Amino acid sequence: MNQNNNVKPLDDMRVIEMGQLIAGPFTGSVLAYYGAEVIKIEPPTGDPVRYWRLTENNTSYWWHSVSRNKKSVTLNLKTDKGRQIAKDLILKSDVLIENFKPGTLERWGIGPEDLKKENPGLITARISGYGQTGPKSHLPGYASVCEGFGGFRYVNGFPDRPPVRPNLSIGDTLAGLHAAMGVMLAYIQRQKDPQSKGQVVDTAIYEAVFNMMEAVVPEYSGCGAIREPSGTTITGIAPTNTYITSDDKHVIIGGNGDSIFKRLMIAIDQPEMAEDTRFEHNMGRVEHEKEIDAAIEKWTRAQTSEEVLSTMDEASVPAGPIYSVEDMMNDEHYIARGMFQEVEANGRTLHIPAMIPLLTETPGGTEWSGPELSEHTHEVLSELLGKNAEEIKKLGDEGIL
């Protein structure tokens, strides 16, 4: 739990989250962590992420993290009454997050143009595979597909093998981060000018991936170069690679700065290579990358991983282990930085990751884990919409909640 009582930077923001799965909910997670009141509207059966992957008592462990600090309200958006209640909540809020297929909100009569008539300051974060406009905007787009379309899968892997999928939905998380940034930018603009209207934050998953693609566009535009997959190295920078050690572990060493390279070569007992003019600058090292990597790995194979990292530390050469989650949770640095937070879930303590950045004066924090399905329906409908217990019960009996 958050151990301080500091004011959070977004504690005057109310958000309605109508997103499901990962991208939209991650946007809400970021905002909720830094103080926003996030009301998550779920179908009566719940967001599918509640049940994904490893579960306990039919609830995903992941749910407790991605839905922390949120309030759960169930609404059947397939009904007119359900959509009207959603609209009423949105009209009392600063931000709407949605990641439906483009056009869905418009068909329901609660698109941005419909809503701004009554809530002109509303900020609508719209997350989709391909964005709200363009010839592919109508296509469904999960992160896996958009990582390919955005170029990431092309460069990720080995030259002689099929493209590799990382065992995480990176595209969704990137889209969620970009959408959260967009919401905060729009919110700052609205705060700067009380007369300013809200706006749409249009985030395409493929574009969030594309935004991480470094120099591939100017390199292709400038000389026709196409960045290819490079396995455990990175194109055009050397040496930076993964090396095996005598205890069959892998370490990463990044000796790609000119002065760093010299220190690395001296540390691995290769003083001649440290002074070799062929390796003085990065371009020359790239030309002789295999020779350099062979020298480094010959040395690492004779050392334990601990010995490699200790030697690199003494030489001020960037190096590190490749951690599993078990390694992370036992590492003193992670612990010292407060990267694990405790929540109560299913009657016991569960660790979930903290979020960054770490703010010194107005930090975020975890107040509670992902809520039970419909846990806050009565609270939200009564406090925000003035509905009494009888009215709420009737809505439940009608299948609206």
Q: Would you call 296 helix, strand, or coil by DSSP?
A: helix
Residue indicated by tokens 């949120």: 70
User: Which residue from 62, 70, 72 is spatially nearest to 353, judged by alpha carbons?
Assistant: 62
CB 13 within 8 A of CB 166: no
CB 40 within 8 A of CB 25: yes
Distance CA 114, CA 162 (A): 46
Catalytic-role residue among 47, 94, 172, 293: 172
Cα dihedral across residues 61, 62, 65, 71: positive or negative: negative
Active-site residue 172, yes or no? yes
Q: Which residues pair with 54 in a beta bridge?
A: none
What are residue 248's phi and psi, to 5 degrees? 60, 35
Q: DSSP string spanning 3-34?
A: ---PPPTTTT-EEEE---TTHHHHHHHHHHHT
Distance separating the N- and C-terminal Cα atoms of the chain: 30
Cα dihedral across residues 141, 147, 153, 154: positive or negative: positive
CB 210 within 8 A of CB 151: yes
Q: Is the peptide bond before 25 cis (omega within 30 degrees of 0)?
A: no
List active site positions: 172
